Amino acid sequence: MCSNDSTKPDQQPEYASFQDAAEFHGHVCIGLSSGYQVAIAAMKALGVTRPHDEELVAIAETDACGVDAIQVVTGCTAGKGNLIIHDYGKHVFTFYCRESGKAVRAMTCLEEFMPRDPEAEGLRTRVFSGKATEEEKARFHAMTENASKAILDAPPEKVVKLEFIQMEPPKKARIFTSIPCGCCGEMVADAKTREHEGKRICMPCFLKLNQ
């Protein structure tokens, strides 16, 4: 349900734990921590609980780590079609509740938690280039985990800037009929095919034939 009808007035709704998000994502990082704060802050602002289907929609302006926290906490997932990703490289997320018609835009404010530390920047470069020693890797991961913890421990308003906005309801997920590709024979959603010499073929085959 995209509402808190099942929650008693003196109770707080239960959210997935950060540990749940970390296990899903595979590691702890600043992006995951900020995404976790964003998800809970947005759900509280909209007065919603984790939906069973598409009642709540999330629109992410990044495809980075925070998206995994959004999926675990809000139930907005790529598979259900209620997670929409526009990769603009911005840690900004919009949430829309179909039941109330309310929408909130959440932007992360991490400057305080991510100072321009020359040591951290140098370690980051060495770690991601594969040149870091084991000691440097341990130092970098410790710094990352400390920053992540600081984000989780901070008041939500220090991490997330929320703004209620007006928007049109996002389109609901579409269900397509699967047909065999006229070239490779593999099943493909009919709406995702292209026509070639009178046959409906999948996009990989279409691209190969038109190289």
Provide mean pLDDT across the span 138-153. 90
3-state SS assignment for residue 147: helix
Q: Please write the tens of the pLDDT for every residue from 17-59.
A: 999 999 999 999 999 999 999 999 999 999 999 988 889 999 9
Q: Please write the tens of the pLDDT for every residue from 156-192.
A: 999 999 999 999 999 887 788 999 999 999 999 999 9
Q: Which CATH number is 151's domain given? A: 3.30.1330.130
With respect to residue 143, please indicate whether it lies within any of the assigned structural domains.
yes
pLDDT of residue 18: 96
In a shared domain, residues 184 and 97: no
pTM: 0.81
In a shared domain, residues 57 and 101: yes
DSSP letter string over 102-143? -EEEEEE--TTTS---HHHHHHHHHHHTT---HHHHHHHHHH
Name the residue with higher pLDDT: 112 or 199.
199
pLDDT of residue 127: 87
Domain carrying residue 191: 178-209
With respect to residue 170, please indicate whether it lies within any of the assigned structural domains.
no
pLDDT of residue 5: 45
pLDDT level of residue 211 (50, 70, 90 thresholds): confident
pLDDT of residue 115: 62
pLDDT of residue 83: 96
With respect to residue 118, please indicate whether it lies within any of the assigned structural domains.
yes
Helices (H) and strands (E) in the chain, counts: 7, 9
Is the pLDDT at 133 greater than 80? The verdict is yes
Q: What are the beta bridge partners of residue 85? A: 60
Q: Which CATH number is 201's domain given? A: 3.30.60
With respect to residue 1, please indicate whether it lies within any of the assigned structural domains.
no
With respect to residue 173, please indicate whether it lies within any of the assigned structural domains.
no
Count of domains in the chain? 2
